[in-house]
Amino acid sequence: MAVAILLHLYQPITQTEQSFREIYNACYLPLLRLIKNKRNSKFTLNVPLSLIQQMQRYGYKSWIDDLKELKESEKIELTGSAAYHPILTKIPAEVAQDEIILNEYGIGYYLGRHSGFEGEAGILIKNLNGFFPPELGLNSNLVKLIDSLGYEWVIADETCGHKRGVYSLKGSKLKLVVRNRDLSNAIAFKRSINVKDLLYFTNASYHEGKDLDHVVVVDGETFGHHYKEGIYILDTFLEELLSREIEVISVSEFVESSEQRESVEIKESSWGASDFEANSGILYPMWNHPENEVHKLQWDLVGLALDNYKNVNKPFSDGNETLP
């Protein structure tokens, strides 16, 4: 039996310096230390460009160096995503692709190599096997884009219409990895929770008598920022898993070892929607609720920006080895 844990670390590029430093001390620093020191465990992290740029901006180069070292030692794997966390299903494919490629370039710039396979000038990042869509917002059009960019798997929520596990996708080489929603949400949102409560979701009795592997996908800020005791809870949870001989593995390892289920299609989905909301067509209640007038105005503004996107200079081009 195994558990794969994907942690999504993100701060908006407009975050204040004071808030960023507070979150760094409460979460990012102790979280990376925990990952580094946790024996017999591997983790999957989504660390988009927006977070790494702020680490550099505020003097946390040592954190970036530690992240790079963990990647090179294969203690962690990184995922692809969008550089500045747009909901990719809500923007044009051209813009979504630019966001994804910029993120790859940024991760390569900070965490990869500044030369190609044969020593030529360039930016190179290897082994971005998986893709984390912001807010786990996913639909069939985005699947096609992610597939075309060479990714091997994509994370989704159970609101996509399928239970936790690994699936083939019809008409795509991508594997669909559906997180354990109950376990993930228990970790993310329940307070005063004890580890026994979390272990309950991994018991065979909870899954019709079957021993199943699980993928947990949560915000990294859960641990120490959203929840002060979160680092302790995560540490204790990991130790309990290991003591029960439950492996803690990367998502790519999970995909490789999992039995592939039937080939499926998906419904548009996100991790922010309840089953009721998803069935009612409200897929992004925190960002695009049909009854929220502020959301409507914000999307009008987004539409105005997108109308002018083609006239904006692209942030990087071939041969440019610096980031703005």
% of residues, the chain, pLDDT over 70 = 91
Burial label, 67 (beta-carbon count in 10 A; 0-12, 13-18, 19+): buried
CB of 178 closer than 8 Å to CB of 271: no
Q: What are the tens digits of pLDDT across the range 256-305?
A: 998 777 899 999 999 999 989 998 999 999 999 999 999 999 999 999 99
Domains and CATH numbers, the chain: 2-311 (3.20.110.20)
Rounded to 10°, the helix 140-148/93-111 angle is 40
Q: What are the tens digits of pLDDT across the range 185-221?
A: 999 998 777 888 888 888 754 555 455 789 999 999 9
What's the chain's length in residues? 324
pLDDT of 113 higher than 90? no
Q: What are the tens digits of pLDDT across the range 213-259?
A: 899 999 999 999 999 999 999 999 999 999 999 999 999 999 999 87
150-164 b/e with 16+ CB inside 10 Å = b? Answer: ebbbbbbbbbbebeb
Helix (H) or strand (E) holding 185: helix 181-189
In whole angstroms, give the CA distance from residue 217 to residue 248: 13
Phi first, then psi, for residue 194 (nearest 5°) are -110, 165
CA angle 61/130/11 to nearest 5° reads: 40
CB of 2 closer than 8 Å to CB of 254: yes
pLDDT of 311 higher than 90? no
Helix (H) or strand (E) holding 18: helix 17-23
pTM score of the predicted model: 0.92
For the chain, what is the mean pLDDT? 91
% of residues, the chain, pLDDT over 90 = 79
Which pair of tokens denotes residue 298? 């914000």
Better-scored residue on pLDDT, 53 or 116: 53
User: For residue 3, which of 246, 275, 272 has the smallest C-alpha distance?
Assistant: 246
Cα dihedral sign, 5-236-2-156:
negative
Give residues with Cβ within 8 angstroms of 262, minimum separation 6. 167, 168
pLDDT of 321 higher than 60? no
Query: pLDDT tier at 20 (50, 70, 90 boundaries)?
Result: very high
User: For residue 158, which of 261, 269, 252 has the smallest C-alpha distance?
Assistant: 269
pLDDT of 119 higher than 70? no
2-31 b/e with 16+ CB inside 10 Å = b? Answer: bbbbbbbbbbeeebeeeebeebbebbbbbb
Estimate to the nearest angstrom the gap between the alpha carbon of 71 and the chain centroid: 16
CB of 233 closer than 8 Å to CB of 227: yes
User: Around Cβ 79, how many Cβ atoms within 10 Å?
Assistant: 25
CA angle 211/268/95 to nearest 5° reads: 120
Helix (H/G/I), strand (E/B), else coil: 321 = coil
pLDDT of residue 171: 92
User: Around Cβ 73, how many Cβ atoms within 10 Å?
Assistant: 9
